[in-house]
Chains A and B, each alone.
Chain A
Amino acid sequence: MKKEKEKRRFSLFRIGDLFILLIVLCLVGAVLYSVFAPARGNAAEVYSDGKLIATLSLKKNTVYELDHMQIVVNGGKVWVEHADCPDKICEKTGKIYKKGQAIVCLPNKIAIRITGKGEVEAIV
């Protein structure tokens, strides 16, 4: 049959695929980097007016009540559930769990920061 003699216009793989493969590998690298590079923290430090007022372990699910806000630790993540500040930036920041991430409430001068320090930690 004529059809079988004709050379196929499209193929499954060609040499140019290496270029696409390179792009995909870069994407894989980027995804792995953004997932694994910042290590999970294991404690959240709560600062009020620049002073450390509490250190919450991320391994324990707790609800920490402050005058102006309610901080929730659940499943290794920290977030602000309620705050009485007008802008609610702290609530909108969402859940944080990686070393170096922070939630800051400017009106109430509260900051929550994730650290990677060990379990043995003085609670001030």
Chain B
Amino acid sequence: MTARKVTKLAALLAVALLMGFVENMLPPVLPVLPYCRLGLGNAAILLCLMWFDLPSAALIAVLKCVIIGIFSGAPISILYSLAGSALSLLGTWLLLKLSLNGIPAISAFGGVLHNVGQVLVAILLTQTTAVAAFLVYLALFGALAGVLTGFIAYFVYRAIPNGETNDDRKRDF
């Protein structure tokens, strides 16, 4: 890992964390589902996946989950977000590899998987299957939020195809 890459990853992580913190301060997007977040920080992780590779994106995702979990004062939420991020990262990576889809659609898929992962953890932790009743709402919300983050990631990628103006894209991809 070059110093250049470390710096780029750090910048992406900073953006992801900032988005996460700001979102935690804002009121919920949908009052009906107060635990729903847009997850704009995931645009940074998606961008990381587009610029670099799966391990780098996984690193950013894990750090984001842990740091936000610690600082938001609810360490249990780390488990939820880790499960969601892991599932969504794998799904997104797979679709990117297949390259049959546009970025917003891939991101929507990731958003659905993110919430599926969280509901699975909720079922495991609370031992109540009633939580699954929320799954369709959460999955749909995740898809819409994913489309939004996908658009953001796509246009950032188009403006900055490599995270900088100098070209070392060939080595990174």
Q: What is A's interface to B at a CB cutoff of 8 Å?
A: 2-3, 8-17, 19-21, 23-24, 27-28, 30-31, 34
Contacts and interface: CB of A to CB of B under 8 A. Distances in A.
Given A10-B50, A31-B137, A24 B103 contact: no
B136 A10 contact: no
B80 to A, nearest CB: 20
A15 B100 CA distance: 7
Question: A-B pairs with the 7 shortest C-beta distances?
Answer: A16-B100, A13-B102, A20-B105, A17-B105, A16-B101, A30-B136, A27-B140
A17 B147 CA distance: 11
Contacts of A8: 158, 161
Interface residues of B, number: 27
B142 to A, nearest CB: 9
Contacts, number: 65
A27 B100 contact: no
Contact of A27 (B98, B143, B158, B167): B143
A18 to B, nearest CB: 9
B57 to A, nearest CB: 14
A89 B125 CA distance: 21
A28 B104 contact: no
Contacts of A27: 112, 136, 139-140, 143
Contacts of A23: 109, 112, 143
B108 interface: yes
A23 B11 CA distance: 34
